[in-house]
Amino acid sequence: MKFNSVKFEISILYTAILGLILIAFSGILYLISNAFLHQIDQKLKDRAQAVDFTVRSYLGVLGDDHEAMAEAMAKTLAMKRENFLQRKTWKISQEWFQQSQELNLNNSYINIVSKDEKEVFSSSNMDQRMRLDFLEDIQFPSRSQAVFQTLNVEHKNIRVIDYLFTDRGVGQYLIQIGIAQDPIAQQLRNWLYSIAVSVPLILLLTSFVGRLLANRILKPVHEITTLANKITQQDLSARIKNRNFGTEMQSLVESFNEMIARLERSFQHIEQFSYHTAHELKTPLTIIQGEAELLLRRERTKEEYQQALRIVMEESRRVLKTVDDLLLLTKLGYTQEVFKFEQFDFVEFFHEIIEQNRLLAANKGIGIRVHLNNLNPPLMINGDRLHLRRLFFNIIGNAIKFTSEGGCIDIYIECSHGKVISSISDTGPGIAPENLKKIFEEFYRADKNTPGSGLGLPIAYTIAKLHQGEIHVDSQLGHGTTFKIILPQN
Ligand code: ADP
């Protein structure tokens, strides 16, 4: 697995999130169990101080030697009410009995040990085994007066305080008091230990699960990669099969398939385009070559040479026109810089175009009628004059080309909803409905014998599109054709 891979990131993220949750959970457990411990330690300290105070009280009346100490300890641990006859100590015993009840000392394990760990006085609830356990883990506090520890006695956790008792007369003793830990606190501690022990294992497992998950999520990506490696210019037919990938991946797969489909269409288009280009250039070049070969076969008359040269010139002009159109179409498709946008009055601009075409039409005996519908000049538009001129020349030129002598071309200009709409209607042969879509394809000509290379309308269409405009065509076979050019008004 690579360290900079998405798979690695997902599994690390997954593990990190779980790790953080575990740490937070353990932290809370730790704080709670510490609070429990603190509470229990405080209880132990209160009890140890009470025992310390009682022993001192007894010592105060019994004397200040080891024997008195032994008696004081015995009386303290007994926690009994003495009777009136024991004059010296009965009052202490009364109070101590009362206090030990309040402190619930009967539930505590009390053990008192001398400094040399010999003299042992224990509360009656401690058996031999427990006493040994207490003695085994004895800790004489060095700096503070008390130390705490948890002992495990017969599978029970007992919290113990080792409390130092010092008296100049009797020397040093250790008061050990233990109470069984609350089962809940004990459970919390156990959980804490279990979590601490199992964290590495859990994280290891999580990172493994994270990897599996990442593998599952990234499966379509692997498929796309494998497929992308298979795709070549020769075979663009491969697609990723539609399966249940999950919404996001599904849309990635769909986008990828659509991209391949678009690429396939583009390649097909380029193939056809190249084929048509070659074909379109081949015809005039073949004619030129044929004419030259024919001339060279034998000596020709001056008229024959002139006639042949005229044909060569005509065909060369055709080749040049096709090459020019192709270059323009390519430039329009790839570089927007060929456009020089400016603001100008469309009506004035259009009149110039009509006047120039009127002459061409008149030569063929065709009339041009112009209708300006409710226009308030100036009709400003933002566009490239040269290219728009080309657009209208191509369309009006076609109208003249396809209209027979005596026919008529009607041109309407109107303005509606911020758009300038120019309609050019001719009385020509019209276009068959099945061919209406094809006329905007490169090199399409309904009749291959009509002059032209079939690039005029694709150029016009591209120019209109690059001006955020549209071209629509409406035609009835035998009744003429109407081209509608819609351009946004500025
Ligand atoms: P060209 O540049 O050769 O004129 P176009 O792209 O302008 O080619 O036109 C392509 C074809 O569309 C024409 O050969 C013709 O079949 C059809 N067409 C275009 N305009 C008209 C029209 N006004 N009337 C009938 N057919 C038309």
Q: Is the CB of 394 under 6 A from ligand 1?
A: yes
481: confidence class by pLDDT, cuts 50, 70, 90? very high
For residues 31 and 145, membership in a common domain is answered with yes
- Which of 131-135, 192-196, 326-330, 407-411 is least confident? 192-196
Q: Which of 172, 191, 210 lies at the terminal end of a domain, its last residue? A: 191
Indicate if ligand 1 lies below 6 Å from the C-beta of 398.
yes
35/95 same-domain check: yes
What is the phi/psi pair of residue 238, to 5°?
-65, 140
Any idea of the CA torsion for 90, 92, 97, 101, to the nearest 10 degrees? 160
Give the count of domains, the chain: 3
The string of pLDDT tens digits covering residues 433-479 is 999 989 999 999 998 888 888 999 999 999 999 999 999 999 999 99
Q: In this structure, are 12 and 104 located in the same domain?
A: yes
Which atom of ligand 1 has the smallest separation from the CA of 459?
Answer: 6
**One domain for residues 261 and 408:** no
For the CA of 325, the closest atom of ligand 1 is 2
Same domain, 304 and 351: no
Largest alpha-carbon pair distance within the chain?
169
Q: Does residue 123 lie within any of the structural domains? A: yes
Would you tell me how many other CB atoms lie within 10 Å of the CB of residue 178? 27
Q: Which residues pair with 486 in a beta bridge?
A: 421, 470
CA of 102 to the centre of ligand 1 (A): 113
* Range of the structural domain that residue 274 is part of: 247-313
Q: Do 135 and 257 share a structural domain?
A: no
Tell which residue, 156, 152, 155, has the closest CA to residue 136. Answer: 152
* CA distance readout (Å), 127 to 78, 132, 155: 15, 9, 15
Report the DSSP pairing between strands 146-153 and 156-167: antiparallel
Distance CA 402, CA 112 (A): 126
Which residues fall within 8 angstroms of residue 257, CB to CB, at 6 or more apart?
239, 240
Residue 407, domain member (yes or no): yes
Question: Do 181 and 42 sit in the same domain of this protein?
Answer: yes
Q: What's the chain's average pLDDT?
A: 88
CATH number of the domain to which 124 belongs: 3.30.450
Q: Do 39 and 177 belong together in one domain?
A: yes
Per-residue pLDDT averaged across 96-119, rounded? 88
Q: SS3 of 440, please?
A: helix
Find out whether 122 and 110 touch, Cβ atoms under 8 Å.
yes
Residue 217 within a domain: no
Is the pLDDT at 57 greater than 80, yes or no? yes
In percent, the amount of the chain with pLDDT more than 70 equals 98
> Which residue(s) pair with 342 in the sheet?
383
More confident residue, 228 or 150: 150
pLDDT value at residue 50: 94
Distance 403 CA to ligand 1 centre (A): 11
Pocket test for ligand 1, best of 398, 435, 437 (most atoms within 8 A of CB): 398
Q: Is residue 229 part of a domain?
A: no
In a domain, 12, yes or no: yes
How many CA atoms lie less than 13 Å away from 149 in the CB half-sphere?
16
In this structure, is residue 230 part of a structural domain?
no
For residues 292 and 347, membership in a common domain is answered with no
So what's the pLDDT on residue 18?
Answer: 86
Percent of the chain with pLDDT over 90: 48
**Cis bond leading into 378, ω under 30°?**
yes
Inter-residue contact 325 to 283 (CB < 8 Å): no
Cα-to-centroid distance, 456 and ligand 1 (Å): 8
Decide if 374 is inside a domain: yes
Q: Which of 144, 161, 191 is the last residue of a domain?
A: 191
d(CA 57, CA 437): 117
Distance 475 CA to ligand 1 centre (A): 12
d(CA 301, CA 270): 45
pLDDT at residue 262 in the model: 92
In this prediction, residue 362 carries a pLDDT of: 95
Distance, CA of 82 to CA of 91 (rounded, Å): 8
Shared domain for 10 and 140, answered yes or no, is: yes
Q: Are residues 285 and 412 in the same domain?
A: no
Cβ of residue 446 lying under 6 Å from some atom of ligand 1: yes
Q: What is the mean pLDDT of residues 185-203?
A: 81
CATH of residue 391:
3.30.565.10
d(CA 335, CA 322): 20
Which atom of ligand 1 lies at the shortest distance from residue 428's CA? 24
Q: How much is the pLDDT for 372?
A: 87
Shared domain for 290 and 381, answered yes or no, is no
Q: 58 versus 187: which is more confidently predicted?
A: 58
Stated length of the chain = 490
- Grouping H, G, I as helix, E, B as strand and the rest as coil, residue 39 is helix
Residue 152 parent element (H or E): strand 146-153
Position 276 pLDDT exceeds 90: no
Instruction: Identify the helix (H) or strand (E) that includes residue 157.
Output: strand 156-167
Which atom in ligand 1 lies closest to the alpha carbon of residue 440? 6
Q: Is residue 320 part of a domain?
A: no
Average pLDDT for residues 376-384, to the nearest whole number? 88
